[in-house]
A and B are shown apart, each in its own frame.
Chain A
Amino acid sequence: MTRSQQAMIAEGLARQGRVAEAVAACHEALAIDERDAATHALLADLLLGEDFYDEAIATATQGIELDPDCSPAYLALGLAYDRRGGMWDQSVLVWHELAEVVPDLVIAHVQLGEAFSAAAFDEEARDSWRRALELDPHQARAHYNLAIDALKREGMPTALPLIRAAGALDPSQDALFFALVGLPDREPSGDVGPDTPREVRYAEAVALARAEDFFGAADVVRTLLDDDPNDAKALALAGFCYLKQEAMNEAMACAVRALADSPELVEGLYVLGTTYAQRPGLAKHAARVFLALAKAAPGEPLTHVLLAEALLGLQRYRQARKAYLAAVALDPACVRARFGLAAVLFSEGAYAEAQWHIRRAAYYDTKRLGTFWELFDRYVEEGSA
């Protein structure tokens, strides 16, 4: 595929987030070559981002008509149908096509399931999400959707553990811990010894934990505790490392010890609350700890989500709703909060509003994954090959 220079310029502008200029460049590129399906797809994605759903639908459709294998156009079209709402039959067809064109694209199966679910084809929706999980067992959104499906069939007691399991797969939960730690993201340097200053060793342990080298992190934490066994931050970090290795009692032991000296240490509260939340009998304990965490770190959306989930465990739907709303207000793209809020709204019979939140979550999640650019690059590359 030979693309005009103007099309390349449009692509570059879009990648830089210069939407208005990119749209203008797309139109210029299409004036040069109106049969450039990739540029139609790009323009559709840009229009969708600006909430021009009908225009996005028309442009993406043109792209598909020009090339029925234009996967980024299918993505833009499917998302435009979903965002516009009320076009589930078309949406199902588009996601089905995308899953055919790119069979290993997990998100296509997730989206197909969501379109089926919105059209009340529940069995087909479940099959699509299961297919997505066959391709990627850690696909959090497929798990969230199955949790909502379980809610509709069996109620909150069955759904909540599934929501939590999905949350544990969601990278945002680890991100919360590191946000609470408050150190900048950096690679481990690998050159700390027992004589290195405490702060440097702690930062190295955090960097190792962030890189998921939990044994390495534990070794550095050990040197910190050898210097001061009451080092609460080191204990909380050790607790997090144990938590990630599913060693709940060790994590609890470290967190309880850390909080004995520093009762308001947010990382300690996070670790302790998470260990409590994994045991159904400790729902009240989890709610207490996460309430303290949400108060101590009110600017972190996920602290409100964790509180909301604990409140759902206690069947306090109204309070859970409030906590979820606080999380969504802080981060409208928080997928876990949107799905949780949808669950609460289902329990209130507000189905349309619940579906709206699921659609928003889906849009943000697909955007976060960078699926459009992945498909676009693949399509352009295959075309030029």
Chain B
Amino acid sequence: MHESEAERLFRAFTGNDPAAAIRVVEQVRSAGVPQSELFDTLYVPAIAMLGEAWARREIDELAFTQAAVVAEQVSSFVMPPLARPDTGVGVVLGVMHRDRHSVMKNIIAGALKESGYRVFDLGVDVRASDFLERVEETGARVVIAFAEMLATARAVEGVRDLLVAEGRADVVLLVCGGPFAADPSLARSVGAQGVISTAQGALDVLERVRRDVLKQEAGR
């Protein structure tokens, strides 16, 4: 479909003309090819032509290298979007007060950010009131409370109580940590709606939450 454009891009590479190469990319993009497809439909065929031209000695080693430099200059214009699209769902997370076990919190925060969630990381040793405060500031729809000790796990109940008391019972409260994995009834007893035990699990649960949020918003 874009063979002629790929040829033009290839010629721009071998002609050592980055401006022309970028023009080709822009023309193809304005013709309606989405950013996510530019690399496969335009760049890869042009690069293949470059390889063929070098293999057939149509261009020498120096021209090959120069063309590759131009290709590098253009590559950022054709790369699929790096970041996943913003899900629009805010997530407040932190490790409970008197608990400093941060590893799982850091890993899950990184995974959620990478997947397009708006993550507000409160760090470790977070009081229940800080969760509520940040939910109100940011409009976050989800709170994830991390606790690795039984006492701090039980204290999650305080987060749920505060959310209910301040009229934010709609906020989804999730919990993560060893005590919740060891005793499945603990999460329910502190008023949490779900337990997360892995980064993959966090992504799966948040995907369901995101769909529910979208459904609720569509229903309004």
A351 at the interface (CB under 8 A from B): yes
CB-CB nearest in chain A for B199: A347
Q: Which residues of A contact B48 (CB under 8 A)?
A: 253, 256-257, 260
CB atoms of A229 and B52 under 8 A apart: yes
The B35-88 residues at the A interface (CB cut-off 8 A) are 39, 44, 47-48, 50-52, 54-57, 64-65, 68-69, 71-72, 75, 79-82
CB atoms of A157 and B56 under 8 A apart: no
Q: Which residues of B contact A260 (CB under 8 A)?
A: 48, 52
The distance from the CB of B112 to the nearest CB of chain A, in whole angstroms, is: 9
Q: Which residues of B contact A348 (CB under 8 A)?
A: 197-200
A341 at the interface (CB under 8 A from B): no
CB atoms of B110 and A157 under 8 A apart: yes
Summed over the interface, the residue pairs from A and B with CB atoms below 8 Å come to a total of: 119
The B70-111 residues at the A interface (CB cut-off 8 A) are 71-72, 75, 79-82, 102-104, 106-111
A14 at the interface (CB under 8 A from B): no
Compute how far the CA of A284 lies from the CA of B40 in the bound complex, rounded to whole angstroms: 12
CB atoms of A155 and B111 under 8 A apart: yes
B178 at the interface (CB under 8 A from A): yes
The A140-199 residues at the B interface (CB cut-off 8 A) are 151-158
Given contacts A281-B80, A317-B199, A349-B104, contact A253 B68 (CB under 8 A): yes
CB atoms of A256 and B65 under 8 A apart: no
SS of B interface (majority): helix
A24 at the interface (CB under 8 A from B): no
Given contacts A249-B47, A315-B203, contact A280 B114 (CB under 8 A): no
The distance from the CB of A320 to the nearest CB of chain B, in whole angstroms, is: 9
Q: Which residues of B contact A333 (CB under 8 A)?
A: none
A75 at the interface (CB under 8 A from B): no
Compute how far the CA of A250 lies from the CA of B72 in the bound complex, rounded to whole angstroms: 10
CB atoms of B107 and A156 under 8 A apart: yes
The one of A154, A247, A279 that contacts B65, using a Cβ cutoff of 8 Å: A247
Chain A 216-241, CB-CB to B under 8 Å as 1, else 0, gives 00000000011001100001000000
Compute how far the CA of A346 lies from the CA of B198 in the bound complex, rounded to whole angstroms: 9
The distance from the CB of A32 to the nearest CB of chain B, in whole angstroms, is: 52
Q: Which residues of B contact A316 (CB under 8 A)?
A: 200
Compute how far the CA of A315 lies from the CA of B203 in the bound complex, rounded to whole angstroms: 9
CB-CB nearest in chain B for A318: B200
Given contacts A256-B44, A348-B197, A348-B198, contact A156 B110 (CB under 8 A): yes
Q: Which residues of A contact B178 (CB under 8 A)?
A: 349
Compute how far the CA of A332 lies from the CA of B80 in the bound complex, rounded to whole angstroms: 36
Chain A 257-280, CB-CB to B under 8 Å as 1, else 0, gives 110100000000000000000011
CB atoms of B107 and A155 under 8 A apart: yes
Given contacts A225-B55, A229-B52, A349-B198, contact A156 B114 (CB under 8 A): yes
SS of A interface (majority): helix
A282 at the interface (CB under 8 A from B): yes
CB-CB nearest in chain B for A343: B107
B113 at the interface (CB under 8 A from A): yes
Interface size on A, residues (CB 8 A): 40
A252 at the interface (CB under 8 A from B): yes
The distance from the CB of A86 to the nearest CB of chain B, in whole angstroms, is: 19
Q: Which residues of B contact A157 (CB under 8 A)?
A: 110-111, 113-114
Compute how far the CA of A248 lies from the CA of B72 in the bound complex, rounded to whole angstroms: 9
A80 at the interface (CB under 8 A from B): no
Q: Which residues of B contact A230 (CB under 8 A)?
A: 55
A254 at the interface (CB under 8 A from B): yes
CB-CB nearest in chain B for A225: B55
Compute how far the CA of A342 lies from the CA of B65 in the bound complex, rounded to whole angstroms: 40
CB atoms of A152 and B106 under 8 A apart: yes
Compute how far the CA of A158 lies from the CA of B200 in the bound complex, rounded to whole angstroms: 17
CB atoms of B82 and A281 under 8 A apart: yes
Q: Which residues of B contact A247 (CB under 8 A)?
A: 65, 68
Q: Which residues of B contact A235 (CB under 8 A)?
A: 51, 55
Chain A 352-367, CB-CB to B under 8 Å as 1, else 0, gives 0000000000000000
Q: Which residues of B contact A347 (CB under 8 A)?
A: 107, 111, 198-200
Compute how far the CA of A216 lies from the CA of B111 in the bound complex, rounded to whole angstroms: 45
CB atoms of A154 and B106 under 8 A apart: yes
Compute how far the CA of A226 lies from the CA of B51 in the bound complex, rounded to whole angstroms: 14
Q: Which residues of B contact A317 (CB under 8 A)?
A: 198-200
CB atoms of B106 and A155 under 8 A apart: yes
The A30-54 residues at the B interface (CB cut-off 8 A) are none
Sample 15 A-B pairs with CB under 8 A, ordered by A number: A155-B109, A225-B56, A230-B55, A249-B68, A250-B64, A257-B51, A257-B52, A258-B51, A282-B79, A285-B39, A317-B200, A347-B111, A347-B198, A349-B104, A349-B197
The interface of chain B, by Cβ under 8 A from chain A, is 39, 44, 47-48, 50-52, 54-57, 64-65, 68-69, 71-72, 75, 79-82, 102-104, 106-111, 113-115, 176, 178, 181, 197-200, 203
Extra A-B contacts (17), CB below 8 Å, given A229-B56, A252-B47: A151-B107, A155-B114, A156-B110, A229-B57, A249-B50, A249-B72, A254-B55, A257-B52, A257-B55, A281-B79, A282-B80, A285-B39, A317-B200, A347-B107, A347-B198, A349-B197, A351-B103
